[in-house]
Amino acid sequence: MTYATEHRPDTARVSAGMTFLLAAACGLVAANIYYAQPLAGPISAALGLSPQAAGLIVTLTQIGYGAGLLFVVPLGDLVENRKLALVMIGIATVGLLGAALSPSAGPFLAASLLIGLGSVAVQVLVPYAAHLAPEAIRGRVVGNVMSGLMLGIMLARPVSSFIAELSSWHAVFLASAAAMIALSLVLARALPQRAPTSKLRYGQLLASMARLAATTPILQRRALYHACLFAAFSLFWTTTPLLLAGPAFGLSQGGIALFALAGVAGAVAAPIAGRVADRGWTRLATFFAMLAVAIAFLMTHLAPLGSPWSLALLVIAAIVLDFGVSANMTLGQRAIFALGPEFRSRLNGLYMATFFVGGAIGSALGGWAYAQGGWTLTSWIGFSLPLVALVYALSE
């Protein structure tokens, strides 16, 4: 059956159970992108990669994900959504199995590319959730689904660290592959079909994205706002493990994993932001999110590094920062999803691709800044990124 929420909303299709299923699916799929990050050292050692090439383990996953955002996610406006999501989860599953069973670096890196590409299924499911939701509660539904996605992102690193410590890094990928197979079976039975009405060909679909990017001010603003905030997010989570493992704190890998768990609390912002957006308070909430991210970096300067107070402030800063980033991401998606159902997937692909680039820049900037000036330089750069977004937002 064909389903078109955008014309005749059916609230039965966005029951609490359906929302929970979509949130869980987004969290499980999104986690695939981040499992390898804390394991790059042992994986590269086991597969014979040089320390200089170890970064390829994460980079190729990100390249695959970025390519999927631009070339696969827009297909949500053209191809039946449930089928597209299941195909991409299948590709991720193949990549996860390949990574777990790879005997050498070459096959593992190829598998990493597939993991990233297949994991864009999450960005098919988020607009799909928006399609299922009537306008009055769309922000709430998208926020609840995004809370699952953010939980997946934030839990992936500590979970992979704990599993690898108990067993091996192979077990991380095998466990995720098993989870993807089970998830596919559940989604195939539970999700209603949604067949888009667009008659565009694939080439026309991609060409239309350039026009949307050039002629949609809300997309431009929301994408650039979140590019700045996600750059700050990536900078923080790239450099704090280095800070915590360094001489000031001397934490073990397990201690760093526990620290990463603190940021999970920030995921509660997504459903709150969705409800706020439904009430029409998006602009005020956006300012609040940007200030929260900036304040998080300032907090880390309130006590000498290495002291118990400093560690406590870093934990609180992680929660506040993740709260602001999660809220702003949901506010942005709520705004662009309101522009029209016929190009919702293309808008989402452009939005995600833009701030994904911001995140990559933030990671690179964080690594450089920490090497040059330690946490002092790094944190001030992190503080400046949300301020740039705030100045731009004031011109709205």
The beta strand positions in the chain, using DSSP E, are none
How would you write the pLDDT of the chain (396 residues) with one tens digit per residue?
A: 333 444 444 444 578 899 999 999 999 999 999 898 778 778 888 998 876 677 678 778 888 998 998 899 999 989 999 999 999 999 999 999 999 999 999 999 999 999 999 999 999 998 899 888 888 888 888 888 988 888 898 889 888 888 988 889 999 999 999 999 999 999 999 999 888 877 888 889 888 888 999 999 999 999 999 999 999 998 998 788 889 888 999 887 678 778 878 777 877 887 888 888 888 899 999 999 999 999 999 999 999 988 999 999 999 999 999 999 989 998 998 899 888 888 888 998 899 889 888 888 888 888 888 889 999 999 999 999 999 999 999 987
Q: Are residues 185 and 317 in the same domain?
A: no
Q: Whole-angstrom Cα distance, residue 31 to residue 90? A: 15
Domain of residue 113, residue span: 1-197
Among 165, 197, 229, residue at a domain's last position: 197
Q: Are residues 187 and 219 in the same domain?
A: no
Among 149, 168, 197, residue at a domain's last position: 197
Q: Whole-angstrom Cα distance, residue 308 to residue 390? A: 32
DSSP percent split of the chain into helix, strand, coil, nearest 5: 85, 0, 15
Q: What's the CATH code of the domain at 33?
A: 1.20.1250.20
Do 361 and 230 contact (CB within 8 A), yes or no? no
Q: Whole-angstrom Cα distance, residue 164 to residue 126? A: 30
For residue 283, give both structure tokens.
């602009």
Helix (H) or strand (E) run with residue 344 in it: helix 344-394
Q: Are residues 244 and 345 in the same domain?
A: yes
Half-sphere exposure of 285 (CA within 13 A, CB side): 26
